Amino acid sequence: TQLLEQSPQFLSIQEGENLTVYCNSSSVFSSLQWYRQEPGEGPVLLVTVVTGGEVKKLKRLTFQFGDARKDSSLHITAAQPGDTGLYLCAGDFFDSNYQLIWGAGTKLIIKP
């Protein structure tokens, strides 16, 4: 059974601070996606990482895919209240059919 574990489950920090959230698995994924979900809305894709060791930047957000393609991290620099939301990672695992495995999410609150 493939499992994606996200940590921490909850994080509350002050505006301007930096933070890192993690997404870990014992399985190898062909790709990994990060989504952000705001209250009452559906998740929205932020980025897809495909290559082991890949780093992608989206303004103040930096995403990294582990060399072994089993883990990923999301680093936010100088967090802002607008970054508040639930951050979900989802791994694309190919077995007999493509199967997207979802983590439980990190709930992030940025206080002004």
Partner 1 sequence: DSGVTQTPKHLITATGQRVTLRCSPRSGDLSVYWYQQSLDQGLQFLIQYYNGEERAKGNILERFSAQQFPDLHSELNLSSLELGDSALYFCASSAPGGGDTQYFGPGTRLTVL
Residues that bind partner 1 (CB under 8 A): 30, 33, 40-45, 48, 86, 88, 90, 92, 94, 97-100, 102-105, 107
Read off φ and ψ for residue 81, nearest 5 degrees.
-55, -30
Least gap, CB of 102 to partner 1 (angstroms): 5
Query: 49, 36 in Cβ contact below 8 A?
Result: no
Helix (H) or strand (E) holding 17: none
Instruction: State which residue, 64 or 92, has the beta carbon closest to partner 1.
Output: 92
Instruction: State the nearest-atom distance from the C-beta of 11 to partner 1, in Å.
Output: 14
**What are the distances in angstroms from CA 35 to CA 57, 87, 91, 101?**
14, 6, 11, 13
Closer to partner 1 by CB, 76 or 93: give it: 93
- Which residues are CB-neighbours of 41 under 8 A, at least 6 positions away? none
Question: Which residue lies nearer to partner 1 by CB, 73 or 92?
Answer: 92
Shortest Cβ distance from residue 45 to partner 1 (Å)? 5
